[in-house]
Structure 1
Amino acid sequence: MSLPERIGVLGGGRMGAGIAHAFLLAGARVHVVERDESAAEAARQRVVTTLERSVARGGTVLPLDELTAALTVGTAVEEFAAAGLVVEAVPEDRALKSEALARIEAVIVEDAVLASNTSSISITALAAELRRPERFLGMHFFNPVPASTLIEVVTGAQTSSPLVDTVRDWVGALGKTPVIVRDSPGFASSRLGVMLALEAIRMLEEGVASAVDIDAAMELGYRHPTGPLRTTDIVGLDVRLGIAEELESAFGERFAPPALLRRMVEDGHLGRKSGRGFYEWSDER
């Protein structure tokens, strides 16, 4: 099944830009909406930069001018009216996502699909505030989106089965692999990934080993492509903390965030996006 001709993305940060990039490479027209003109221009530059890299690496046969012509960026959600799919990609905050989804639903057509790129917030809870919950689900993309081949498709209690089949096909059209997950705190990937990351942070906190050696143990011993601490830096320590707090509220103490994680977030050491986390990233921001 082919993708909708027009795709909307609300939020043009690292994740939103990556999502836009994926759909552009698959041949769709993409409109990104940001909060103001300055943020919109920054989002445009993020997407164009990733497109330039894909073209330079030979990751697409589409010419750069054709790809950039298919991208529009603005500040008005009303531009989503022609989209067949809109993906919400605002920060991982329940109230912020609920408000964003309501704004989108108010302007899209009846048969459009609405998706949230949440990594831990309940799809069923978000759907409860929508008028058409059967047309809503989770599409959990992974960071960095251009390099990741996985999309977690999360079904809420009222998500229609035909819609799940449709979105599964759309994920395939992006050249990625869908994993279908019933709505549950942390879904599958975040629940497992955060548990491993929290234990790695506790080990570092206790002086069991260095960050490099903890990561090497998982990379060499279990063939993880990236260790849990470096992965946390890539995802963002603030994102990991937010997910851990969501999971702690659902499952209890085993997901309690270590003091080291809280302290690093409070100090602004958020990983790659801030230039420092468990590793130094000053040259890779």
Structure 2
Amino acid sequence: MADIFEVGIVGSGIMGAGLAEVAARAGHDVVVRSRTQAGADDVLARITKGFDRQVKKEKMTADERDAIIGRIRGTDHLGQLATCDLVIESVVEDLGIKKALFAELEQIVKPEGILATNTSTLPVVELAMATQRPELVCGIHFFNPAPVMKLVEVVRPVTASDDTITRAVDFAERCGKDAVLVEDRAGFIVNALLFPYLNNAIRLCENGTASMEAIDTAMQGGCGFPMGPFALLDLVGLDTSLAILDALYAEFCDPNYAAMPTLRRKVAAGQLGRKSGQGFYSYE
């Protein structure tokens, strides 16, 4: 079993930055690839800003900050990922875009390198079959925010080798995470259970059972959840939530996965949650 030393991250959004931070904290050299150099540079700036706050609060030393930042470099060129032992993509949840990316990565990353996806729902096997190394493709699903959340779902498509899965689990554990193994089914564990709940919260509101504020308060107070379903939908992103529900429904045809009309209308209106300033709640 080959060790993982250098890690590539494709994507410069919130999750991409979080993955870069987690991997660098664990001692890995990290290459962050964005579509633009400015985007890659912004990842480093955001991570540095967060570390600066921790130094100020004496939660880390300046030397620790500098050592971690020194292990991260940004690029706009996929070719810079050629020497990576593991590449994790964290781009938009669109199967076609991800398949094209994996086909390109397969031509670039060294033959023994693992290609992983951070998808929360999409079929990993389809990404594996877009390459000539399906045995080296798996899912490594971190949760947002990656530096804080302890869980990682390691997703095994039918094509993955035992060695690939062992290395993926080892990587997650070296990053200080709790790795759980899951078969390649839409939604894996967490989203397969979570999104019917979120969808049915919208259903309750639509049929007049209670207001969204009342539902959020009830689920926090009655179940001890840290936030209610509508606040959580806004945090996840309504567009992401809709994409997950559509993927779940496409695989299982379960009515609980059929996205409620309110969710579709809000996404059509560009009301995507916290990231757009308006979702079920207003953040402006």
Shorter chain as denominator, the TM-score bin is over 0.9
1:113 aligns with 2:110: no
Alignment of 1:92-103 (within 5 A): 92-103=93-104
* Residue 21 of structure 1: aligned partner: 21
* Residue 51 of structure 2: aligned partner: 51
* Residue 168 of structure 1: aligned partner: 169
Give the secondary-structure state (helix, strand or coil) at the position aligned to 2:179.
strand
* Residue 8 of structure 1: aligned partner: 8
TM-score after normalising by structure 1: 0.92
Contact kept, 8 Å, 2:100 with 2:130, in 1: the verdict is no
Unaligned runs of 5+ in 2: none
Alignment of 1:57-96 (within 5 A): 60=60, 63-96=64-97
Letter in 1 for 2:156: T
* Residue 190 of structure 1: aligned partner: 191
Please report how far the alpha carbon of residue 263 of structure 1 lies from its aligned counterpart in structure 2 after TM superposition: 1.0
User: Matches of 1:127 and 1:67 in 2, distance apart?
Assistant: 31
User: Matches of 1:58 and 1:96 in 2, distance apart?
Assistant: 42
Please report how far the alpha carbon of residue 35 of structure 1 lies from its aligned counterpart in structure 2 after TM superposition: 0.8
Unaligned runs of 5+ in 1: none
* Residue 256 of structure 1: aligned partner: 258
* Residue 266 of structure 1: aligned partner: 268
Residues 3-55 of structure 1 show CA distances to partners (whole Å, capped at 9, x for unaligned) of: 62211000011111111111111121111001123322333323333333454
Residues 209-253 of structure 1 show CA distances to partners (whole Å, capped at 9, x for unaligned) of: 232321222222222222222111111110000011111112223
Residues 47-69 of structure 1 show CA distances to partners (whole Å, capped at 9, x for unaligned) of: 33333345455555662222221
CA distance 1:69–1:264, change in 2 (3 Å): same
Residues 180-200 of structure 1 show CA distances to partners (whole Å, capped at 9, x for unaligned) of: 100011111111111111011
User: Matches of 2:160 and 2:55 in 1, distance apart?
Assistant: 37
Give the secondary-structure state (helix, strand or coil) at the position aligned to 1:52.
helix
User: Matches of 1:265 and 1:272 in 2, distance apart?
Assistant: 13
* Residue 31 of structure 2: aligned partner: 31
CA distance 1:272–1:161, change in 2 (3 Å): same
CA distance 1:273–1:23, change in 2 (3 Å): same
Letter in 1 for 2:271: H
User: Matches of 1:101 and 1:50 in 2, distance apart?
Assistant: 31
CA distance 1:8–1:54, change in 2 (3 Å): farther
* Residue 126 of structure 1: aligned partner: 127
Give the secondary-structure state (helix, strand or coil) at the position aligned to 1:106.
helix
The CA RMSD measured in Å over matched residues stands at 1.9
1:277 aligns with 2:282: no
The more displaced of 130-139 and 207-216 is 207-216
The more displaced of 117-126 and 59-68 is 59-68
Contact kept, 8 Å, 2:44 with 2:69, in 1: the verdict is no
